[in-house]
Amino acid sequence: MMDSAPDRKRRPAVFLDRDGVLNVDHGYVHRLEQIEWCPDAPEAVAALNRAGYWVFVVTNQSGVARGYYDETAVRSLHRKMAEELADRGARIDDWRYCPYHPNGTVEGYRRISHCRKPAPGMLLDLIAAYPVDRGGSFMIGDKDSDMEAARAAGVRGVRYRGGSLLSLVEEALGQHQEPADR
């Protein structure tokens, strides 16, 4: 858990999927050189920070269960991504990932988990750990499983379909009840 947020007052949160939303999903991304930011992703995170939202990343990382990389690689990548974002004036308040998959090849990670999207576990854990105003919160994801996790956690789902993430964030910030769908 990386809690770099300066205060703990109740405020809405944005839950961001990682691969396919923050960075281009090249498949099992786990090294910094594989990171290709989605258009305007750092600027979108900075805009959410300025708007006063908690900003969280919630990402399925079945590559751990499949034996492609380990949890150390995931945590290391998140630290490096956080550094790159900080260099661009943006901050992620916390990163959560699910290393489990029911068809994994690594026995310790081969299981069904409440944290694997579409289950809402990662979102609910963050809502419990931070003073989140759930009513104003939303999830940005690129897959049906992200939208299902948002619905199950009681937050609005916003679908990212490519293009400027900043434009989608600005649109989503302007909407309070209707989900944005790109």
Residues 122-154 pLDDT 10s = 999 999 999 999 999 999 999 999 999 999 999
- Which of 7, 17, 133, 146 is an active site residue? 17
DSSP alpha helices (H): ranges in 7-143? Answer: 41-50, 62-65, 71-87, 121-129
State the chain's mean pLDDT as an integer: 93
Q: pLDDT digits over 42-82, tens only?
A: 999 999 999 999 999 999 999 999 999 999 999 999 999 99
Instruction: Count CB atoms within 10 A of the CB of residue 27.
Output: 8
Smallest CA-to-CA distance from 130 within 2, 11, 6 is with: 11
Q: Indicate if 125 belongs to the active site.
A: no
Domains annotated for the chain, with CATH where assigned, are: 13-143+151-173 (3.40.50.1000)
Would you place residue 176 in the very low, low, confident or very high pLDDT band (cuts 50, 70, 90)?
A: low
Q: Indicate if 94 belongs to the active site.
A: no
- Which of 7, 19, 25, 142 is an active site residue? 19
Under DSSP, is residue 20 helix (H, G, I), strand (E, B) or coil?
coil
Under DSSP, is residue 58 helix (H, G, I), strand (E, B) or coil?
strand
